[in-house]
A and B are shown apart, each in its own frame.
Chain A
């Protein structure tokens, strides 16, 4: 009768940072916990837990998503990029280098989410205005930096972006 009834486990086939992964997860498992606890990818953090702060941001098929409020089961068949996959081996993404260069990193808890959101923005709009950057980062909070250096770092990448999308 219920051909599509899925019991309380979900099979998930997903590409994470370019590598295929097959998992069985409880249906109620959140992507953030699966990434952190099952796959050991601790870069995404839990902070507000209600999609406001962005510390848990990962990219699903290139789009920023709050992993804290995203069922792991939803990731089936999709490509996930976490902070651990942003660099190309030892070559940092221009945004990562810019964050270091511009002093945009302090406690680091917002950094993973901030970088991935910024990367998604630049992929969509390689030369965003400051207003566009600010709008796109509405959901990425930082309590340490006061944002100024983060915005500067992103703007610096907007001018001359690397060959990474």
Chain B
């Protein structure tokens, strides 16, 4: 059960700001509550005030403008999973949203809540990193943006200031012709590893490129720049042939932290394995084939 608190349901961001200013560290922002309420049940968080941001209009919208896909902070995972706009502009996002936790959490939990909680064992941040995820933070002092890398500082730690509200995450869908795959592996309730591999075709003045991100194995999601560097200019067929080698590079590059999901050694190893597999899936797709590979305890998006 929960300890008593006052529930505020402001309908404007300015009211949210006022409440935060008034109550400081006795107040917590609340959207889906899928993490916050659990911590409150355990007594790890004891806010006297819960500020529900779901009544602020516009915070839950999913829009696409200027080539970007913007997901409002209070959009539910389920909304993202089912959004025609997301399916049209960036279907992999819908695909990954579909596998967050379970359907009940997806109905209630929000994208913003998920990002703001910064649980290392989560999927969206890893994928969003590969989509140049940029977060918008609003406060009375103004609005500013942070890249995902700037926002997620470490395990459960973000750059959000006490008076700021996360209002949206903006994604830049990959250029047309990009073929991607997201693989998520794990036995436990939360994912043990997530890998994005996106193969972007070359264009005038720009060689083909690969974008690879890994999450869950370290304190924050990571871009594997060394892997990407070694993959520049390669055709999908070559990438496919080199996927094992690139996996090795990934295993050496990745930053890992041992926890109950695995030792550092194991996490490094499976990072290499799943980068290789993600490249395998993506390169197959890039060549017009859908791989029939199935890996145990693995979701392939």
Contact = CB atoms under 8 A, between A and B. Distances in A.
A touches B (Cβ under 8 A): yes
Contacts, number: 91
Contact of B4 (A8, A66, A117): A8
Contacts of A136: 103
A94 interface: no
Contacts of A57: 104
A64 B104 contact: yes
Nearest to A140: B102
A65 B6 contact: no
A73 B5 CA distance: 12
Interface stretch (B8-16, B146-154, B158-166, B242-250): B8-16
Range of interface residues on B (Cβ < 8 Å): 20 to 34
Given A1-B18, A4-B15, A33-B1, A64 B8 contact: no
Interface residues of A, number: 36
Interface string A54-95: 100100100111100111010000000000000000000000
B37 interface: yes
Interface of B: 1-11, 15, 18-19, 33-34, 37-38, 41, 50, 55, 78, 101-105, 107-108, 189
Given A4-B9, A54-B104, A69-B37, 12 more contacts: A1-B18, A2-B8, A2-B19, A4-B8, A4-B55, A5-B6, A6-B7, A8-B6, A26-B4, A27-B4, A27-B50, A138-B102
27 contacts: A1-B18, A2-B8, A2-B19, A3-B15, A4-B9, A4-B55, A6-B7, A6-B8, A10-B7, A27-B4, A27-B5, A27-B6, A28-B5, A29-B2, A33-B1, A50-B41, A51-B34, A51-B105, A52-B102, A52-B189, A63-B78, A65-B107, A66-B108, A70-B108, A139-B101, A139-B102, A139-B104
A36 to B, nearest CB: 12
Interface of A: 1-8, 10, 26-30, 33, 49-52, 54, 57, 60, 63-66, 69-71, 73, 117, 120, 136, 138-140
